[in-house]
Structure 1
Amino acid sequence: MARVAIIGAHGKIGQELMRELYDAGHDFVGIARGEEHAEDIFRLGGEGVTLDLEATDAATLAAALEGCDAVVFTAGAGPNSGVERKRTVDYGASVLSAEAAQAAGIRRFIQISAAGVDDPSTKTVVPDPQWAAYVDAKRDADARLRESGLDWTILRPTALTTADGTGRIELAEHVDRANGSIPRADVAATVLAVLENPGTIGEQWELTGGSTPIDEAVSRLV
């Protein structure tokens, strides 16, 4: 059994991940921005910690992570949050979380990113400054994590949906992004599979809906 810290626990992937961890018998600490969100985390079976990632420091966050075995970063500024917050949350909070993990002595770090962020053409798919800022933030956050020295895994899903999970995905260095989508529940289940398989350390994959059972898709690549 592991104790997992979820950064951005009240987001949609974070909530799905808490259910996965609970069902699998793992403990979890959810880092969330509001007190009401921390209460929701408690109701889902975990420990809720209220922290504003844009207004804290690595030492404070590290104290909240003490005793955890792994960190999952799934925070994001969200749609219509503005260009600046893409940088302070999608990039800045990721870097802060990695620094806090190191300070707390936690090696394992799993990051939810986005498919195609290393491809410059991705920024032109939606001609919008916020989208371009989001792509840049995710790309740069991934680069910093790869350089961190932590035992990282980066998962880059295609378009996220609220559909029920299927338990089946396509997982590869690159997947077809043009029409790809994946339920958030399947992203969360993939995080759990990655967490439980140490062979995934140092790997970066894109994922989308597919036909391969999640555990099999992960085990094929390690």
Structure 2
Amino acid sequence: MVHAEPIHRLSRYVMHYVSKLCDHKQTLMRLSGTGTISGSFSLHVVWIIMRLLSKLDVKLKQCRDPPANRFFAMNNFHFIMQNIQACPELLEIVADDNLNKLNAKFQKARFDYLKLTFDVVLRNLRDEGVNKIKILSFRVVKLKDRLKRFNYEFEKHEKELGKVVVPDFGLVLELRKLIVEMVVTAYASFLVHTKKVARLETYVKYSVEEIESAIQGFYDCR
């Protein structure tokens, strides 16, 4: 089960708060009467974001479902990055080094999420010595079994992921593109085996184009 709340309310609250602080930085400096809070202000803003990431890490440890855990991490890290990049003042304060570290956390969470989610699908498309099976009837049985399992797992993912909400449409497009690269490439390669065995054609339920088209329906953006 994918996490029901892709963006945690704490992420929304904190990022809204620090953005507003940055919007009113000059006012805060005037109110201080010294005009010297710039350095401490920046440190405080970075500290707030680091505390948010620390709180999210605690939430992640409480989630025992690995795909849901990585899905939650991916969405929240992406959301925080987006908010930083959307505010020039905040982007300057956070600096490239911190932003790069955050981006690395996001990239890893996304990679882990996709790997955990699609490993069961891709497992059925791996070669694992099929070409080495000399007896044709045995090879047919092996390939037929893999095709049936792939169809079942892919259809299950199609049904489930069509309902999963990813709040950012840009991230939706990224995920679909990466899934196409993972699944469609492996599926096209696997079909090479089936073309060498005439009687297997009836077990090929989907064309490469149909698989790619189905992936375009993965994830809902609200």
TM-score, length of structure 1 as denominator length: 0.30
Select the structure of larger CA radius of gyration.
2
**TM-score (norm. length: structure 2):** 0.30
If asked which structure has higher relative contact order (CA below 8 Å, sep 6+), I would say 2
Whose strand fraction is larger, Structure 1's or Structure 2's?
1
Task: Point out the structure with the larger helix share.
Answer: 2
